[in-house]
Amino acid sequence: MEKQEAKIAETANETANTAVADAPVTAAVTAGHNERGGMRSRGAGGRGEHGRERNARRPRRNEGGRERVRPEFDQKIIAIRRVTRVMAGGRRFSFSVAMVIGDKKGRVGVGIGKAGDTQLAIEKAVRDAKKHMITVPMNTHSQIAHDVQTKLSSSEVMIIPAAGRGLVAGSSVRTVLELAGVKDVTAKLLSRTKNKLNNARATIEALKLLKA
């Protein structure tokens, strides 16, 4: 019995010594966990690694920068065609774009551009329209003085002033008059052609006949 009691006492002493020796390590690990948890809690509290608040709205690219410049002329495509040429090696495609540009203050022009790419054809059409731009004589209310009628190729157009009716026109004639800024007119296509480019050019020729 004495031997068993001595063994039990010895085992209890060893267990106590092991617990005392492991106490600093456990305390250090616990402190490390607490420190990390504290760091996480600070990060989740509203600020990230770089000191910026989470879920904060980032500034947009245009904020604080230059505003987008409005183009000088408004543009509208009235016709676009894909033209095919049959060559020895096969077919070659190109694009033809008819465009009307204007500032809605009396200046308007019609141009055409041809290129292998649509964007390049549009740029050429804009340059051509600027070369053939005209100024429409109007009064302070953007109204024309008298009626005009002209014929170009297969297209024949008549434009009549109509006070209080607004802009009454169709096809590409309306596009030209709208971008020129003309108001209170009635336009009539006397021909049966549906060629929008010819109709637009005929409208330009009719506007050239106007007098102040």
Q: Do 116 and 200 fall into the same domain? A: yes
pTM of this structure: 0.66
| The total number of structural domains that make up the chain | 2
Confidence bin at 70 (pLDDT 50/70/90): confident
Q: Do 198 and 95 fall into the same domain? A: yes
> What's the farthest any 2 CA atoms get from each other in the chain?
135
133 closest CA partner among 207, 186, 35, 59:
207
Q: Do 100 and 186 fall into the same domain? A: yes
Contact 73, 133 (CB under 8 A): no
Spatial distance between the Cα atoms of 43 and 166, rounded to a whole number of angstroms: 64
pLDDT of residue 211: 87
Reported as a single tens digit per residue, the pLDDT across 15-37 is 555 544 444 544 444 455 444 44
- What is the domain range of residue 191? 74-208
Q: Do 26 and 123 fall into the same domain? A: no
Contact 108, 208 (CB under 8 A): no
Q: Do 82 and 158 fall into the same domain? A: yes
The pLDDT > 70 percentage for the chain reads 68
Confidence bin at 80 (pLDDT 50/70/90): very high
Between 97 and 49, whose confidence is greater? 97
Q: Do 51 and 122 fall into the same domain? A: no
Q: Do 93 and 167 fall into the same domain? A: yes
Confidence bin at 148 (pLDDT 50/70/90): very high
Reported as a single tens digit per residue, the pLDDT across 149-184 is 999 989 999 999 998 889 999 889 999 999 999 999
For residue 119, pLDDT over 50 is answered with yes
Question: Which residues are registered as beta bridge partners of 112?
Answer: 98
